[in-house]
């Protein structure tokens, strides 16, 4: 009895490239997250790496959809490769997309503070900011109302520590890379020190502020 040989159609090139791009974007995303969390690089190039990886994830999704069209009409193989690329791409962009939608719904304020009545004042950072940057003064009570509606958990963190001890604790809590933002600050001399510290978790939630005051 003669055996029948099943001829498998070669996989679509689009499907193969979609999977390759998806796997590369996955690896780049993991590396970028490790870099951000470890503080090995400055936050801007680290986030640029992450953004590039997410762009590749979107490209993988587009290639997978194109491969699906080719497979449907031409009957070639590659369905598994296209499905893998689509799954990886959607998994990578799902959380950033959620953060983007959440950030779009937040009020358009450029600063938050723990004390809207008497906001801590910037000193050293004020000299480092370019002229075309956002104003360093708090916008007022209307902004305070918007802040309270969006960030009701932002409130002063009271402590019995000295200003220098509280300042050092804030630096350690934010990570090693954050100390570069506070160069030139001297808590003992000026009495009030403000360090504007950004973390990945607060990227879309606005600007996080640490105020240290003498009692």
Q: Same domain, yes or no, for 99 and 18?
A: yes
The confidence band for 20, taking pLDDT boundaries of 50, 70 and 90, is very high
Is residue 116 in a domain?
Answer: no
Is residue 186 in a domain?
Answer: yes
The confidence band for 66, taking pLDDT boundaries of 50, 70 and 90, is very high
Q: What is the pLDDT of residues 101-144, one digit of tens each?
A: 888 888 888 777 877 777 777 776 677 777 777 777 777 788 88
Q: Same domain, yes or no, for 81 and 135?
A: no
Q: What is the pLDDT of residues 23-49, one digit of tens each?
A: 999 999 999 888 878 877 777 887 888
- Enter the pTM of the model: 0.61
Q: Give the chain's domain count.
A: 2
Domain that holds residue 176: 124-212
Is residue 8 in a domain?
Answer: no
Is residue 85 in a domain?
Answer: yes
Q: Same domain, yes or no, for 36 and 70?
A: yes
**Residue 22 CB-density burial (10 A; 0-12 exposed, 13-18 middle, 19+ buried):** buried
């Amino acid at each position: 009895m003669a055996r029948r040989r099943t001829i498998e159609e070669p996989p679509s090139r689009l499907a193969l490239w979609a999977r390759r791009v998806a796997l590369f974007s996955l690896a780049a995303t993991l590396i970028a997250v490790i870099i951000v969390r470890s503080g090995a690089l400055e936050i801007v190039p680290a986030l640029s790496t992450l953004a590039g990886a997410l762009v590749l994830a979107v490209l993988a999704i587009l290639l997978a959809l194109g491969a699906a069209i080719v497979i449907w009409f031409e009957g070639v193989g590659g369905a598994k490769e296209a499905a893998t690329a689509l799954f990886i791409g959607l998994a990578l962009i799902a959380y950033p997309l959620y953060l983007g939608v959440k950030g779009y719904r937040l009020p358009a304020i450029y600063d938050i503070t723990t004390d809207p009545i008497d906001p801590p004042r910037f000193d050293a950072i004020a000299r480092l900011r370019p002229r075309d940057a956002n104003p360093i003064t708090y916008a007022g009570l209307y902004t305070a109302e918007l802040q309270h509606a969006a960030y009701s958990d932002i409130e002063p963190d009271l402590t019995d520590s000295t200003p220098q001890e509280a300042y050092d604790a804030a630096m350690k809590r934010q990570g090693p890379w954050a100390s570069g933002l506070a160069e030139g600050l001297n808590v003992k001399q000026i009495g009030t020190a403000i360090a504007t510290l950004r973390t990945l978790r607060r990227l879309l939630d606005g600007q996080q502020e640490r105020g240290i005051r003498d009692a």
